[in-house]
Chains A and B, each alone.
Chain A
Amino acid sequence: MNLFLQQLINGLNVGSIYALIAIGYTMVYGIIKLINFAHGEIMMFGAYFAFIAATSYNMPVWAIFLTSMIIMAILGVAIEFIAYRPLRNAPRLSALITAIGVSIFLQNLALLIFKADPKVMPKLFPEKIFYLGGIEISSTTLITVGLAIVFMILLDLYIRKTKQGRAMRAVSEDKDAAILMGINVNRTISLTFALGSALGALGGVLYSVAYIQVFPTMGVMPGLKAFIAAVLGGIGIVPGAMLGGFIIGMVETMTKAYISTTWADAIVFAILIIVLLFKPTGILGKNTREKV
C-alpha cells in the first residue's frame, strides 16, 4: 500500500510536467490546427536557459524560472512569426512539415551551441524530505506539483475571465467570425504561442530538475508523450490536456513500478490507441457532425 501511494506521488510529479507541456500543444492546435512539433525543443531550450541562468549567473530561483519562461515566450512568438505565419493559408501538411523542420533545426542548433554531452542541472530547490504516514515526499516534488497546479489555474482563469482569453477562445472557434468581431487574430495567435511556450519552458525546467540532466535531445520523448497526453484528453481543449498529462504520467509510473520498465512506453501508446478507438476525439472531446 505504501509503495502504491509512493508511486501515486511520483506519477503526480511526472504527470504535472507532462500536463504543462501538453497545454502548449493543445493551445496551438486549438487556435491554428497545427501540431507544433517544435514544442519539445522549446521545452529543451527552456531547460538550457535555466541551466545557464543557474550556473553562470547565480540567479535566485524565481528569476531563473522567469528568465527561462520569458525568453522562451519570445522564441515561441518568433518561431510562429518566421516559420508558421507565411503558411497560414497553405495546406495543413505543409505547415506540419515546417514544424518538423523547426524542430530538427532547434535540436541541431542546441547540439552545436551546447554540445551533445548531458549537463548536470543544479538543484534549484532546498532539499528536504517530508514523511507522511510512511511515504516520502521530497520538497522538489511538492514544488513541482504545486507550481504546475498554480500555473494551470492561472491559465484557466486567464482564458475564461479576461478579454484576451475570450479572444483566444473566439479565434479557435471561428477565425473568420472573430475577425468580423474586431479581434486582432495575429496578435491573439502570437499571444497563444507566448503562453504555450512559457508553460513549455516551465515544464522543461521542472523536468530537468526532476531528472537532473539537460541535453539537446531531451525534448523528444517528453514532447511526444505530452502530445499524446493532449490527444488523449481531446486536442484543442485545455482542461483535456491537463487531464491527459496526469493520466499519462500516472500510467507510465505505475507500469514502470508494477509491470516492466522496458515496456512502459509501449503500454502508454497502447492505452492511447485503445482510448482513441472507443472515443475517437479524446476523453473530453466532442463529436463534430459531418456536413456534406
Chain B
Amino acid sequence: MDQKKKKSYLINTAAIALLYLLFFVLIQTKTINNYFVGIMIMTCIMIIMALSLNIVAGFLGQMALGHAGFMAIGAYSSAMATKAIVDAGIEMPSILLLLVALLVGGLVAGIFGILIGTPTLRLRGDYLGIVTIGFAEIIRIFFINFGPTGGAAGLKGISKLVDFNNVFFITVIVAVLIFTFGRSKHGRAIISIREDEIASESAGVPTTIYKVLGFTMAAFFAGLGGALYAHYQAFLEPSKFAFMFSIEMFVIVVLGGLGSLTGSILSAIVLTVLPEMLREFSEYRLLIYSLLLIIMMIFRPQGMLGRSEFSLTDFIDKLIMRKNRKTTSDGGEK
C-alpha cells in the first residue's frame, strides 16, 4: 500500500517536473511567443478558479454562480496591499511581495466567504445560486462606485509580479492542496453532504460547519486566483468581474465533470485555449463556442470525466499491462 503511494507520488512529481521543463525549454528557445505564454498564464489562473469553484459546486454540490465576486475581492485587496507596500518604499524581493499579495487576496476573500456563506448556505439549489449572483453583482457595483480603487475607470499601476514560472508552481501547489483536501476527513465529510445532507447529518457530520468550511475554502482559493490575475494584468476594472465571468467559470467546472478535479483542469485548459484558437473567426467565435457547449451537454451531460479522476499512475499501469498482455498473448491466459 505504502509502496504504491510512493510510486504514485514519484510518477506525478516526475510528470510535473517534465511538463515544467518542457515549457521552460520552449519559452527559453522562443519556440512559443509571448502571446502564447500569456494564454498559458491565463490558463493557470483559470485552473485555480475552476478547482476552487469545484469545492463548492462539485464536492459540496451547491450551485454557486458568484465566483467572480470572490475573485474580484482577492484581486482588488491584494492589489491595494502591494500598492501600499510599494508606495511606502519598503524594498522587498518580488517573490516575497507576490506571497504577501496571495496571502492578502486569499484571506480577505476567505473572510468574505465566511460572512456570505454563513447566512446563505441554508438556502438550497437555485435559490442559493441566485443569492450568490446577487452578492457578486453587489461586489462589482461596489467597486464601480468605490473611489480608492479607481471606480469604473479601473485600478492602474499594480506591480507586475506574475510570470509563467511562479504561476505554474502556485497552480501545482493549489491543485495538490485541493486534491488532498478532497480526500481528507473534512473533504469526505463535505462530499457526504452532497450525497445526502440529511443522512450525513444523522451520521454526526456537523453539516453547517462543513458547508461554511467548503464555501470559505473555495473563496480563499478564488481570492488567490484573483491576486494572481491582478499582478499579471497590472490593471483591474470592475466590468471584468461581471455575471458572465462567473458563468464562464461554472461552465468550466460542469464541462469538466462536477467533483472531478482533473476534469476541471482539463476543461479549464480546453475552454481557455479554444476561444483563443477560434480568434481568427472572430465574429463566429462565441457562436462556435456556444454550439460546442450545447452539443457537448446533449451528448455527454455528465461532463468530460464525470465524477472520476484521471490518474497518471493507473494510466501507466494500464499501458504496461497492455504491453505485457501483448507479449504474453501467444502464451495463452493472463
A87 in the interface, Cβ–Cβ < 8 Å? yes
Contact indicator B130/A231 (Cβ below 8 Å): yes
Distance A104 CA – B135 CA, assembled complex (angstroms): 23
Which of B16-24, B159-167, B208-216, B283-291 is near enough to bind chain A? Answer: B283-291
B189 in the interface, Cβ–Cβ < 8 Å? no
A213 in the interface, Cβ–Cβ < 8 Å? no
B interface, how many residues as a size bin? Answer: 35 or more
A101 in the interface, Cβ–Cβ < 8 Å? yes
B181 in the interface, Cβ–Cβ < 8 Å? no
Q: What does the 1/0 interface line of A67-102 toward B look like (CB < 8 Å)? A: 000000000000000010011001101111110111
A contact residues around B294 at 8 Å (CB): 83, 98, 101-102, 105
B11 in the interface, Cβ–Cβ < 8 Å? no
Contact indicator A94/B286 (Cβ below 8 Å): no
Contact indicator B137/A266 (Cβ below 8 Å): yes
A contact residues around B119 at 8 Å (CB): 277
Distance A90 CA – B138 CA, assembled complex (angstroms): 33
Among B130, B286, B301, contact of A90 (Cβ-Cβ < 8 Å) = B301
Given contacts A273-B134, A273-B135, contact A93 B141 (CB under 8 A): no
Tell me which of A95, A101, A270 has the highest count of chain B C-beta atoms within 10 A of its own C-beta. Answer: A101
Among B247, B287, B303, contact of A100 (Cβ-Cβ < 8 Å) = B247
Which of B27-35, B100-108, B121-129 is near enough to bind chain A? Answer: B121-129
Contact indicator A98/B298 (Cβ below 8 Å): yes
Q: What does the 1/0 interface line of B244-287 toward A look like (CB < 8 Å)? A: 00010011001100100000000000000000000000011011
Given contacts A87-B301, A93-B254, A266-B138, contact A102 B127 (CB under 8 A): no
Given contacts A108-B287, A112-B284, contact A91 B302 (CB under 8 A): yes
Contact indicator B127/A280 (Cβ below 8 Å): yes
Distance A112 CA – B282 CA, assembled complex (angstroms): 11
B268 nearest CB across to chain A (Å): 15
B contact residues around A94 at 8 Å (CB): 254, 297, 301-303
**A/B interface sample: 9 pairs, CB < 8 A:** A29-B126, A87-B297, A96-B254, A98-B294, A107-B286, A108-B287, A265-B137, A269-B137, A269-B138
Nearest first, the 5 A-B pairs at minimum CB distance are A90-B301, A94-B301, A101-B293, A269-B134, A105-B290
